[in-house]
Structure 1
Amino acid sequence: MSVANPGVPGLQSALCRLWRDQPVWLASAAILLGLAMIDRTQAAESAVFAAGALLGTAPFLILSIALAAWAQATGADNLIARAFTGAPLLMIGLGALAGAVSPFCSCGVIPLIAALLTMGVPLSAVMAFWLASPIMDPSMFVLTAGVLDLEFAVAKTAAAIGLGLFGGIVVHLAMTAGAFADPLRAEVGNGGCGGARIRAPKPVIWRFWADADRRAKFGRTALNTTLFLARWLTLAFLLESLMLAWIPAETVTALLGGQGLLPIITATLAGVPAYLNGYAALPLVGGLIDQGMAPGAGLAFLVAGGVTSIPAAMAVWALARPPVFAAYLGLSLTGAFASGVLFQLWTSMT
């Protein structure tokens, strides 16, 4: 009678849990392992490149992590609730501004959107926040300035606010004509636990260090943000090293360089399937710009990818009815293209 080996299923189970919990780290390890098997020199160069890039961005990483932890510990993210009271056009403007500066992650925005809509907040104001939020936040601004430059960070912030305003106004005009009367799917609830921030915002405690629970929250947020940024940026810098090594600069220049509209159109459409996340995309775009990518195309890629990435699009599809989903995609791609064109014009004049 044969005896089953309990170690094999146990190992398989452990690997499955590891893949579920840390797929990004495993992807980075797989890249290095695969490189070591086919090209040891490139494996070493990629590892050194990623380590050097992480070290170079460390000051910006530390500041961005501190900002994210501070926002959570003080409760400053609760201030978002105040952006959605007032006249429709005022709400659109405040929604776009709040989305551009809010520290919410992409997974945290969806329940907030559901709560806002179920509370009766007009879709126009919610759409302004919805479109602007994935593009920029305080920590993203710091990292964008560090990985790319300050001008690009300011342009990305302006694009977030502009896209929010554009989307909110278009939806407002459509609503006056009778569109989007019932934006949420029937099975969507009231926003769940994430909606509590909107329904009953808690007071902001700026001196959070005086409260043990808030100090603990600062520590948890700092740790989680550090691990999140470390794993995604490590993968991004590894991919950037391979891109620089294997993709000829003339290819990038031919597809995404130049001053015309075609590179911006290409980058806008490429942002949908090729986007990783806002943090991982920064060094990749930086590498492409170094190889000849037009700055306007780079901004279009970041804006389009941030709003229409596959995870974000799936979340919107699960929450909103098809007409709202179609408007979300159409507005984001149109706004990303317009942002790229305007930024390209600006850079050509300076």
Structure 2
Amino acid sequence: MGVWELIQDQILGMKWLNELIGRGLSLLGLDVGGRVGGSIRFFLYDVLKITVLLCLLIFVISYIQSYFPPERSRRILGRFHGVGANVISALLGTVTPFCSCSSIPLFIGFTSAGLPLGVTFSFLISSPMVDLGSLILLMSIFGAKVAVVYVAVGLAIAVAGGTLIERLHMEPYVEDFIRKAGKVDIDSPGLSRRERVQFAREQVGSTFRKVFPYILAGVGIGAVIHNWIPESMIEAVLGGRNPLGVILATLVGVPMYADIFGTIPVAEALLYKGAQLGTILSFMMAVTTLSLPSVILLRKAVKPKLLGLFIGICTVGIILVGYLFNGLSFLLL
């Protein structure tokens, strides 16, 4: 086994934990190859694995994020112009909140501060779709190739979407109270290393409390799919025989509310059952980027025409990405 395979399987994937849980359940008299035993094994393994990775990732990302408070982020973005500003904004989104509802207050703040609308939308698309946490977790399940390409195409959607909104001059479709808020120049105090560590610890606790119910729900759904739903059914709906699988997965994902940590166990189970890679990733992107609560929250900040354009850009981009991954899955898996 190579060094990278060791990292992917035993450190990120924690396959040793899966084997340990399997042996433990077998000692208790459960058949881990059966439906009940297999479901329990899947549930315990994924909950423990995702929880450990989640806490480590939140700590590291929050520590990094402590160097980029909203005012500093606004100033960084204000130095760039054109497509370059959209690229920087999308990249900045990778070290900010884990779900779309958390990203929207920052989007409102950036827009109120006078940043170009397209730049703020690049941030809004990127933030929930492609954070550093998704890169690590996707590596643990799908491998490095899938994770890197997923992040790359997510950033491409964010940059393209923001650029298009900028070119269409949609500023009049931002609600008046945001456009008239004006700039707020408040210097964020410098933090010591100890304060940054404390901030990261607090973020671990608060984010974990918000996310953990979705992890339990996602892993529970994944366990049912993995052990109870026939493979033929999944293949018929989301496999290569259904050319509309990507569109169906995207439309199903939009009204749901979860984040990358809650959708990954579902994606893992779907892949095991024969669903196509691109179809699965389209579902994940739709859930994390276009959840119904986030759309409702965004409606308070923008008018229906701009909201519809945002939803349309994201939906079309996600569907195109799904078909792209389906076509390239033989190279990635």
Kindly state the Cα deviation for residue 215 of structure 1 after the two structures are TM-superposed: 4.2
CA 1:84–1:262: 2 relative to 1, 3 Å: farther
CA 1:320–1:253: 2 relative to 1, 3 Å: same
Answer yes or no: is the 8 Å Cα contact 2:259–2:288 preserved in 1: yes
Tell me the secondary structure at the aligned position of residue 276 of structure 1.
coil
Kindly state the Cα deviation for residue 266 of structure 1 after the two structures are TM-superposed: 1.8
CA 1:256–1:126: 2 relative to 1, 3 Å: same
CA 1:349–1:105: 2 relative to 1, 3 Å: closer
TM-score normalised by length of structure 1: 0.75
Cα distance in structure 1, aligned partners of 2:118 and 2:132: 24
- Are 1:53 and 2:46 an aligned pair? yes
Structure (1 or 2) with the larger CA radius of gyration: 1
Cα distance in structure 2, aligned partners of 1:318 and 1:218: 30
Residue 176 of structure 2 aligns with which residue?
186
Cα distance in structure 1, aligned partners of 2:197 and 2:69: 16
Map residues 248-263 of structure 1 onto 2, 5 A cutoff: 248-258=230-240, 261-263=243-245
Tell me the secondary structure at the aligned position of residue 320 of structure 1.
coil
Residue 267 of structure 1 aligns with which residue?
249
Q: Which runs of 5+ in 2 are unaligned?
A: 1-33
Residue 159 of structure 1 aligns with which residue?
153
Residue 200 of structure 2 aligns with which residue?
218
Residue 21 of structure 1 aligns with which residue?
none
1:235-278: CA deviation from partner (whole Å, max 9, x where unpaired): 21112112223322111111111177422222222221245322
Kindly state the Cα deviation for residue 136 of structure 1 after the two structures are TM-superposed: 1.7
CA 1:98–1:215: 2 relative to 1, 3 Å: closer
- Are 1:317 and 2:299 an aligned pair? yes
Tell me the secondary structure at the aligned position of residue 132 of structure 1.
helix
One-letter identity of the residue aligned with 2:308: A
Residue 289 of structure 2 aligns with which residue?
307
Report the number of matched residues.
297
Identity of aligned residues (%): 23
Tell me the secondary structure at the aligned position of residue 258 of structure 2.
coil
Residue 186 of structure 2 aligns with which residue?
200
Cα distance in structure 1, aligned partners of 2:258 and 2:64: 24
Tell me the secondary structure at the aligned position of residue 171 of structure 2.
coil
Residue 63 of structure 2 aligns with which residue?
70
Tell me the secondary structure at the aligned position of residue 134 of structure 1.
helix
Cα distance in structure 2, aligned partners of 1:250 and 1:181: 49
Kindly state the Cα deviation for residue 226 of structure 1 after the two structures are TM-superposed: 3.1
- Are 1:121 and 2:80 an aligned pair? no
CA 1:69–1:173: 2 relative to 1, 3 Å: closer
Kindly state the Cα deviation for residue 343 of structure 1 after the two structures are TM-superposed: 1.9
Give 1:343's match in structure 2, choosing from 321, 325, 331: 325
Q: Which runs of 5+ in 1 are unaligned?
A: 1-40
Residue 109 of structure 1 aligns with which residue?
103
Answer yes or no: is the 8 Å Cα contact 2:50–2:261 preserved in 1: no
1:48-101: CA deviation from partner (whole Å, max 9, x where unpaired): 4322222344552342132244235x3334453212433222212222222234
Tell me the secondary structure at the aligned position of residue 335 of structure 1.
helix
Residue 80 of structure 1 aligns with which residue?
73
Cα distance in structure 1, aligned partners of 2:50 and 2:125: 27
Answer yes or no: is the 8 Å Cα contact 1:141–1:157 preserved in 2: yes
RMSD: 2.8
Tell me the secondary structure at the aligned position of residue 76 of structure 1.
coil
Cα distance in structure 2, aligned partners of 1:83 and 1:102: 14
Give 1:146's match in structure 2, choosing from 140, 149, 156: 140
One-letter identity of the residue aligned with 2:255: P
Answer yes or no: is the 8 Å Cα contact 1:60–1:146 preserved in 2: no
Answer yes or no: is the 8 Å Cα contact 1:67–1:139 preserved in 2: no
Residue 130 of structure 2 aligns with which residue?
136
CA 1:326–1:58: 2 relative to 1, 3 Å: closer
Answer yes or no: is the 8 Å Cα contact 1:47–1:238 preserved in 2: no
